[in-house]
């Protein structure tokens, strides 16, 4: 029989204990998710609402045992509305903070700049807000997903609404970057296909994002022959636009007005009665539109936690965390490649119904919501939506071939 010295036995016991302790520590390390949103400037409200949705999801998930038996921890970075800042933030979150996955992005321009870096990071990204079709189109990659409506989906729905009006001469007012220009391009193309006799005016209006004075653009439209206007200004810019438009008598003109993100509750809360009645408003999710248990629970929890109704950005961010929970548990790991693969083609139940990440481009098949601004909500202090229409996500989506995505 081989003799083991007391010294060697103690070393072996210490090593075994160390291995066991290390294993326990690793199992209890939190899963870290990095959030990249606009947290400063005129659009910071969108980042704040996204944080609220995420924090609510994290609290619920952690209270029910976490993901893979581990708690979830969020780390936030400010994109500042700049692609360079977002890329730097993503690298910091992955390489320095140890983020297992990323969510975020409010700006289409930021998304266009950051998405090509995702294969370098080897971590999945779920976009919860930025709507440029490019990130699930010509810029697509196996690590990038979007859980919210994109411009092409929403503008197909917008064109279907616009085609039912009597407006003939259409123009636009939108931010002078990808979102504004792509909104007008897709809207115009879809509307022409549906109603060939409409006139897409050459006089268009693209104020810079963050502009403080919209009156030159408002006056230009009022003095034109336009009887239909697609307005894709958003965030704090949209609040300023509506207030300035009110003072100019813009809403007294006989025009069909279509606000592509006008029913964002961040905007409606800020404007109150200043948002006029009788204009077309869209949102990627309207909190009263969906009759299912998840939406009932989400809206109730959000109202209890924050005192106001959830926006589409809060819902998208909330659902993205649950998407990661489902994908990580399906993969049995937080490994970036494995989680990204689990997301591909995944179907989940969310507040806005059954959501599938389409396998060919990683774009969620979700429903644009369009309605008409109505009376003030007696409890929530925002305009209600009347004549609400929920469009089928697949029916308003482009085909994989049309997107240009090759995964």
Residue 207 has a pLDDT of: 96
| Closest of 335, 331, 326 to residue 357, by C-alpha | 326
Burial class (CB in 10 A: 0-12, 13-18, 19+), 110: buried
The arithmetic mean of pLDDT across residues 76-102, rounded, is 97
State yes or no: pLDDT of 157 exceeds 90: yes
Element of type H or E holding 312: helix 312-331
- Tell me the pLDDT tens digit for each residue of 115-154: 999 999 999 999 999 999 999 999 999 999 999 999 999 9
State yes or no: pLDDT of 11 exceeds 80: no
The arithmetic mean of pLDDT across residues 218-223, rounded, is 97
State yes or no: pLDDT of 36 exceeds 50: yes
Which pLDDT band holds residue 287 (cuts at 50, 70, 90)? Answer: very high
Which pLDDT band holds residue 27 (cuts at 50, 70, 90)? Answer: low
Burial class (CB in 10 A: 0-12, 13-18, 19+), 299: middle
Given a contact cutoff of 8 angstroms between Cβ atoms, the answer to whether 66 and 106 are in contact is no
Q: Which of 19-23, 112-116, 227-231, 374-378 has the lowest mean pLDDT?
A: 19-23
| Closest of 228, 222, 226, 224 to residue 165, by C-alpha | 228
The arithmetic mean of pLDDT across residues 208-213, rounded, is 91
Distance from C-alpha of 247 to C-alpha of 110, rounded to nearest angstrom: 33
Put simply, whether the predicted model's pTM sits higher than 0.75 gets the answer yes
């Amino acid at each position: 029989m081989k003799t083991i010295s007391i010294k060697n036995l103690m070393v072996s016991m210490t090593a075994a204990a160390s291995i066991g302790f290390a294993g326990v520590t690793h199992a209890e390390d939190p899963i870290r998710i990095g959030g990249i949103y606009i947290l400063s400037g005129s659009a910071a409200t969108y980042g704040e609402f996204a944080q609220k949705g995420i924090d609510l999801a994290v609290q619920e998930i952690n209270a029910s045992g976490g993901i893979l038996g581990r708690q979830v921890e969020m780390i936030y970075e400010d994109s500042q509305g700049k692609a360079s800042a977002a890329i730097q933030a993503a690298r910091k979150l992955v390489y320095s903070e140890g983020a297992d996955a990323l969510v975020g992005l409010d700006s289409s321009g930021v998304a266009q700049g950051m998405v090509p870096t995702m294969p370098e990071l080897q971590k999945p990204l779920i976009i919860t807000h930025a709507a440029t079709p490019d990130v699930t189109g010509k810029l697509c990659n196996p690590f990038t997903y979007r859980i919210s409506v994109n411009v092409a989906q929403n503008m197909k729905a917008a064109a279907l609404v616009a085609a039912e009006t009597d407006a003939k001469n259409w123009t636009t007012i939108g931010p002078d970057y990808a979102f504004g220009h792509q909104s007008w391009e897709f809207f115009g193309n879809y509307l022409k296909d549906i109603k060939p006799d409409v006139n897409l005016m050459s006089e268009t209006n693209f104020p810079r994002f963050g502009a403080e004075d919209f009156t030159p653009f408002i006056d230009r439209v009022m003095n034109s022959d336009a009887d239909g206007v697609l307005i894709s200004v958003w965030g704090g810019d949209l609040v300023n636009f509506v207030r300035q438009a009110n003072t100019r008598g813009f809403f007294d003109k006989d025009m069909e007005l279509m606000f592509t993100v006008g029913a964002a509750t961040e905007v409606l809360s800020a404007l109150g009665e200043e948002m006029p009645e009788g204009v077309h408003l869209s949102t990627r999710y309207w909190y009263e539109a969906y009759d299912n248990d998840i939406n009932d629970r989400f809206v109730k929890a959000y109202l209890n936690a924050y005192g106001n109704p959830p926006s589409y950005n809060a819902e998208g961010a909330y659902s993205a965390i649950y998407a990661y929970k489902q994908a990580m548990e399906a993969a049995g790991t937080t490994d970036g490649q494995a989680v990204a693969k689990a997301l591909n083609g995944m179907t989940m139940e969310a507040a806005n119904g059954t959501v599938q990440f389409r396998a060919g481009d990683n774009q969620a098949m979700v429903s644009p919501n369009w309605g008409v601004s109505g009376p003030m909500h007696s409890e929530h202090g925002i305009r209600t939506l009347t004549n609400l229409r929920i469009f089928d996500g697949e029916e308003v989506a482009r085909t994989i071939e049309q997107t240009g995505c090759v995964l």
